């Protein structure tokens, strides 16, 4: 394989981006982890270091493996340099169509002609993101939707738009297998497969709380103990991030014309108050520091 084929650019070093960088680096990819502000890219790599330190403490990896994985992740704040020579791009920036389209347009002028352009979007149609690049590149634009925490969750949804090439799907399938994960393929419909099922469920849990049918603890316990879910829906919402979830719900409700996918008022209120879930220390539940 050429250098470009083993060089990846991960855009966005947040909750998902740092995990995606980790699994790619663990599989031997040289990863540029890009954020417009270098401190955030470095913070993303620090999160990977913390994950790896936990794995080391549990005896799952040795110190040499930790150092090798971390050594393959280079934080970057200059897009042209980070994109040069990348064979694979995985975009994991904010769930905002305009931001993603602007990034893809910039990438179109920077990455090699044969680069695969994957997006981790949860809900934005791949065709709309693909429209931001030149027509001759649209075959390489594909959804590669990971689940959190990325190093743990076994699934990747592959999402094809009408213009995605068979060769792009084959390449993503090979990468997913290389990461030790399983792929399912979805058509380019809002929410794909998993979030189409999950979002109404999370919304209903929020409406139960709004109505006062049960407390947050009772709603979560009901799902854990009555449905055998590992995590209650409100705790899961906090884990995903309430700002991200709000964006997903708005996009899905509009795209599907389905009010039961729309964000309940309580979600809008929590986001407006800066209660973004686990990442801000509070959401539906509280997460005291440490
Ligand atoms: N949270 C989840 O459970 C989850 C699961 C699957 C997919 N996703 C999707 O992954 C993407 C990222 O979500 P997240 O939860 O990691 O959000 P996040 O808020 O944790 O991280 C997003 C990061 O993108 C950065 N960013 C914003 N604009 C950028 C730009 N132009 N270039 C580079 N970086 C930029 C931000 O600084 C931030 O660090 C979204 O599309 C989301 O829908 C999220």
Q: Is any ligand 1 atom within 6 A of the Cβ of residue 163?
A: no
The rounded distance, in Å, linking the Cα atoms of 186 and 194 is: 9
Query: How much distance in Å is there from the Cα of 289 to the middle of ligand 1?
Result: 22
Residues carrying CATH 3.40.50.720, the chain = 4-187
Chain Cα centroid distance, residue 271: 19
Task: Determine the atom of ligand 1 nearest the C-alpha atom of 103.
Answer: 31
Residues carrying CATH 1.10.1040.10, the chain = 196-280
* Other residues' Cβ atoms within 10 Å of the Cβ of residue 40: 17
Q: Could you state, in chain order, the average pLDDT of each consecutive group of 10 residues for the chain (290 residues)?
A: 75 98 98 98 98 97 98 98 97 97 98 97 96 98 97 98 98 98 96 97 98 98 98 98 98 95 98 97 90
Q: Is any ligand 1 atom within 6 A of the Cβ of residue 41?
A: no
The first and second tokens of residue 239, run together, are 């884990």
The rounded distance, in Å, linking the Cα atoms of 229 and 64 is: 36
Query: How much distance in Å is there from the Cα of 214 to the middle of ligand 1?
Result: 32
Query: How much distance in Å is there from the Cα of 221 to the middle of ligand 1?
Result: 29
Residue entry with tokens 């709004």? 210
Q: Is any ligand 1 atom within 6 A of the Cβ of residue 30?
A: no
H and E: helices and strands count for the chain? 12, 8
pTM: 0.95
Q: Is any ligand 1 atom within 6 A of the Cβ of residue 36?
A: yes
DSSP β-bridge partners for residue 31: 8, 73
The residues annotated as belonging to the active site are 122, 145, 157, 195
Query: How much distance in Å is there from the Cα of 149 to the middle of ligand 1?
Result: 13
Q: Is any ligand 1 atom within 6 A of the Cβ of residue 35?
A: yes
CA torsion sign, 184 to 54 to 239 to 123? negative
Are the C-beta atoms of residues 42 and 114 closer than 8 Å to each other? no
Question: What pLDDT shows up at residue 289?
Answer: 81
Longest CA pairwise span in the chain (Å)? 59
**3-state SS class at 183:** strand
DSSP string, 127-171: HHHHTTS-GGGGGGEEEEEE-SSTTT--EEEEEE-TT--HHHHHH
Does the domain at 196-280 match CATH 3.30.70.60? Answer given as no
Question: What pLDDT shows up at residue 142?
Answer: 98
Question: What pLDDT shows up at residue 1?
Answer: 45
Strand duo 155-160 + 141-146: pairing: antiparallel
The dotted CATH code for 4-187 is 3.40.50.720
Residue entry with tokens 């993603």? 100
**Which residue has the least CA distance to atom 2 on ligand 1?**
240
């Amino acid at each position: 394989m050429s250098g470009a084929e083993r060089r990846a650019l991960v855009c966005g070093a947040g909750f998902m981006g740092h995990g995606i960088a980790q699994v790619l680096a663990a599989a031997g990819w040289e990863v540029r982890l890009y954020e417009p502000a270098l401190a955030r890219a470095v913070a993303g790599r620090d999160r990977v270091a913390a994950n790896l330190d936990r794995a080391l403490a549990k005896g799952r990896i040795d110190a040499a493996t930790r150092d090798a994985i971390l050594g393959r992740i280079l934080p970057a704040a200059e897009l042209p340099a980070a994109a040069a020579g990348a064979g694979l791009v995985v975009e994991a920036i904010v769930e905002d169509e305009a931001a993603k389209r602007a990034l893809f347009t910039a990438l179109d002028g920077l990455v090699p002609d044969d680069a695969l352009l994957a997006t981790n979007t949860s809900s934005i149609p791949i065709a709309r993101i693909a429209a931001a690049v030149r027509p001759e590149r649209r075959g390489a634009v594909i959804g590669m939707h990971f689940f959190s925490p990325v190093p743990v969750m076994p699934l990747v949804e592959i999402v094809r738009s009408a213009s995605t090439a068979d060769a792009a799907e084959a390449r993503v399938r090979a990468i997913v297998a290389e990461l030790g994960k399983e792929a399912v393929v979805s058509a380019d419909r809002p929410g794909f497969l998993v979030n189409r099922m999950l979002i109404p469920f999370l919304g209903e849990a929020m409406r139960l709380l709004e109505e006062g049918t049960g407390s947050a603890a009772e709603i979560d316990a009901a799902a854990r103990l009555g449905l055998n879910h590992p995590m209650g829906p409100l705790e899961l919402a906090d884990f995903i991030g309430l700002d991200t979830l709000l964006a997903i719900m708005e996009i899905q409700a509009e795209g599907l014309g389905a009010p039961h996918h729309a964000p309940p008022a309580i979600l809008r209120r929590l986001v407006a108050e800066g209660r973004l879930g686990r990442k801000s220390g509070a959401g539906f539940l509280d997460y005291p520091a440490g």
